[in-house]
Amino acid sequence: MSDRPTSAAPPAAPARSGGAPLLSIENIVVNYGAVEALHGVSVDVAAGEIVTLIGANGAGKTTTLKTVSGLLKPRSGRIVYQGEEISGLAPHVVTAMGISHVPEGRGIFPNLTVHDNLELGAYLRRDKSAIREDYGKVQVLFPILKERDRQRAGTLSGGELQMLAIGRALMARPTVLLLDEPSLGLAPMIVREFFRTVQDLNEKEGLTVLVVEQDARIALSISSRAYVLEVGRVALAGPSAELRRDESVRRSYLGY
């Protein structure tokens, strides 16, 4: 791709708050066998912030999220959440600590009902009354899921599946939500509605969001800060509004 950002990897953009970031990815290196996929990626996310990772396919965006959630282990560097290092912890431990991951492809169990998929989101919790409360909140947030409660998840539309995926993640009552390519395969109108819901959760519930999104235009419009990844490195980082005006970002990712 021509006219891509070519800056050397900068230090992470400063977090929005004055204190330590809620989630800090510090110079992580990640391998797939002998192939190094991330070459020292650093990303900070402040509490109550929406941060986005953009970049071409193969840039390392999904690998970054998988490493945060424990699906991959960094070869070096570290990940710090709420002041505690979580590098290499098992995924269920990371989830229990308050980080929920909605993977690319959604990861829904198609042969289970909507109800059962949502209940699986709370499998680490024991607070039954609070689980029931959160179940009701998800049904208010996504009324179609209430209508489909006993329907097999594999029969849902793409938009409904994405609602189910985020609803299941919310059942874990996370502090941080990791979203990987949520717009994939969805109609533009559904994408806009989905991201409005994410913004509402951020603004009204204080949910912190780290999102990987191929649609750079919408990703930069809903986030406060962004990182541009290229071949496993951070090429650019800064406030989303500034990156929208950056000529190299406009040409490479926004199409104008």
Q: How far apart are CA 236 and CA 243, in angstroms?
A: 8
In one-letter notation, the amino acid at residue 239 is P
Measured in Å, how far apart are the chain's first and last C-alpha atoms?
A: 14
pLDDT tens across the length of the chain (256 residues): 333 333 333 333 444 445 689 999 999 999 999 999 999 999 999 999 999 999 988 999 999 999 999 999 999 999 999 999 999 999 999 999 999 999 988 789 999 999 999 999 999 988 999 999 999 999 999 999 999 999 999 999 988 999 999 999 999 999 999 999 988 888 888 888 889 999 999 999 999 999 999 889 999 999 999 999 999 999 999 999 999 998 888 888 776 6
Looking at domain 1-98+176-256, its CATH architecture is 3-Layer(aba) Sandwich (3.40)
User: Pairing relation of β-strands 84-85 and 225-230?
Assistant: unpaired
Instruction: Write down the pTM of the prediction.
Output: 0.88
Q: 181-186 contacts: CB < 8 A, separation 24 or more?
A: 181/62, 181/104, 181/212, 181/213, 181/214, 182/102, 182/211, 182/213, 183/213, 183/214, 183/215, 183/218, 184/104, 184/105, 184/214, 185/158, 186/158, 186/159, 186/162
Query: What residue has token string 């020292």?
Result: 40
Tell me the two tokens of residue 186. 């969805």
Domain ranges of the chain: 1-98+176-256, 108-173
